[in-house]
Amino acid sequence: MSGVFLRKVAAAAAVLVASQLAPHRLHAQPAVEQPIRLPVQIGGRTYALETLVVRQAGQDRRPVALITHGASFGTAGPVTLGWVRQWTHDLAHRGWLAVGVMRRGYGNSDGTIEDDAGTCAKPNVGHYLEGHADDLEAALRAIARRPDADMSRVLAIGHSSGGAATMALAARPSVHLAAAVNVSGGLARRRLRLPSEPDPECAPYEADLVRNFGRFGATARMPTLWLYSENDSWFGPALARRLHAAFTAGGGRADLVMLPPFGQDGHAMFFASGGRQLLLPELDRFLRTNGLPTWDAAPFGPLLARLSPADRDSVEQYMRMPTEKVLTLGPNGGVYWQWGEWTLEEARAKALAYCRLKVGRVCSVAAENFDLK
């Protein structure tokens, strides 16, 4: 696909003043959801991709965070926007125009799934990943037409097959990404075995995956963050390190973080309840390190200074939690909060009710997401 437009956007970004590259200061604004069918051009044809755009209220332009899902081969039915919806809220509350996109054939997107990745004996991993990267690049081109999209800073985040496709996207000279995040990324074929059981006859397929990651590293020059779990049944620590070694040997920049075991299968941490507790602190560290927007801990300083040690520890734990979340205080001390709700209203009602139950009096809201009250 031609990359003239995105390259022009990247060139225009060079004239931004330094203040625009400073950490984004968030204001007390709710997240606004906009479900759309995003019209895209892929291979000379028009498709509509099911997409959820989430941003904080307001008229200013925001940098773009593109978020995409994983999937099993040929399994379209179970994949819905729910897989990425909460991630869009987490990124919106960090100052991004968060775009959760379903690739062709998944959810309610047009088209059929690009499922041709070869066989264990004759792998063709690159064909699959480039096809899915076509969808992601097309989505970025369409989002670039929005007046609220700041394309000078684009973050791409993908899980599983979507994480591997995000690495393919990052490698394209036609696409300008500020950073990319690969969560449990990879592609696998196994014959009548459980995911956790290696299949020696599919070793060529795994080798082809590693080779392609080396190819991606040869042209991807933005910082990338790789998040894997020690008990990932599909892409365990040994394979993750092989992928990382191939990518960096090619010249790619990758920060590999091996997280502790999560639940029964760490591959589910992207969309499972509680998984984002592990992932988001690492994402925030990565964003701050690279001067990209995220929430600002400084405003919480005065609140932390006047709390007891136990309450201070509780607030610091709240700060690391996923959105939508609300922090409440008892009139004579005590910190209580609710996190991970579908809406801010739900989180507020539950936090206030729990606080009153614990202290026996009416409580007050101290913070909503990252906004102090």
Q: From first to last of its 373 residues, what are the pLDDT tens digits of the chain?
A: 334 334 333 333 332 322 233 333 444 578 999 999 999 999 999 999 999 999 998 868 999 999 999 986 544 447 888 889 999 999 999 999 999 999 999 999 999 988 889 998 899 999 999 999 999 999 999 999 999 999 999 999 999 999 999 999 999 999 999 999 999 999 987 655 555 566 788 899 999 999 999 999 999 999 999 999 999 999 999 999 999 999 999 999 999 999 999 999 999 999 887 999 999 999 999 999 999 999 999 999 999 999 999 999 999 999 999 999 999 999 999 999 999 999 999 999 999 999 999 999 999 999 999 999 9
Does one domain contain both 36 and 154?
A: yes
- The residue out of 261, 289, 317 marking a domain boundary is 289
Does one domain contain both 70 and 154?
A: yes
The separation between the first and the last C-alpha atoms of the chain, rounded to the nearest angstrom, is 47
Does one domain contain both 258 and 302?
A: no
Does one domain contain both 48 and 197?
A: yes
pTM: 0.89
* pLDDT in the model for residue 199: 74
- Separation CA 263–CA 271 (nearest Å): 12
Strands 45-56 and 31-42: antiparallel
Q: Which residue has the tokens 């869009």?
A: 88
Does one domain contain both 256 and 341?
A: no
Q: Which residue has the tokens 């044809």?
A: 45
Residues in the chain: 373
Neighbours of 274 (CB within 10 A): 14
**Contact 109/47 with Cβ under 8 angstroms?**
yes
* CA atoms within 13 Å, Cβ hemisphere of 147: 3
Handedness of CA 178, 31, 24, 283 (dihedral sign): negative
- Separation CA 244–CA 189 (nearest Å): 20
Does one domain contain both 210 and 262?
A: yes
Does one domain contain both 302 and 272?
A: no
CATH number for the domain that contains residue 279: 3.40.50.1820
- Separation CA 322–CA 274 (nearest Å): 9
* pLDDT in the model for residue 9: 37
- The residue out of 269, 289, 309 marking a domain boundary is 289
- The residue out of 289, 320, 343 marking a domain boundary is 289
Does one domain contain both 69 and 217?
A: yes
Does one domain contain both 181 and 205?
A: yes
Does one domain contain both 283 and 302?
A: no
Number of domains in the chain: 2
Q: Which domain holds residue 311?
A: 298-372
Cβ partners under 8 Å of residue 201, min gap 6 = 120, 121, 191
* pLDDT in the model for residue 195: 56
Does one domain contain both 224 and 307?
A: no
Neighbours of 258 (CB within 10 A): 16
Does one domain contain both 52 and 87?
A: yes
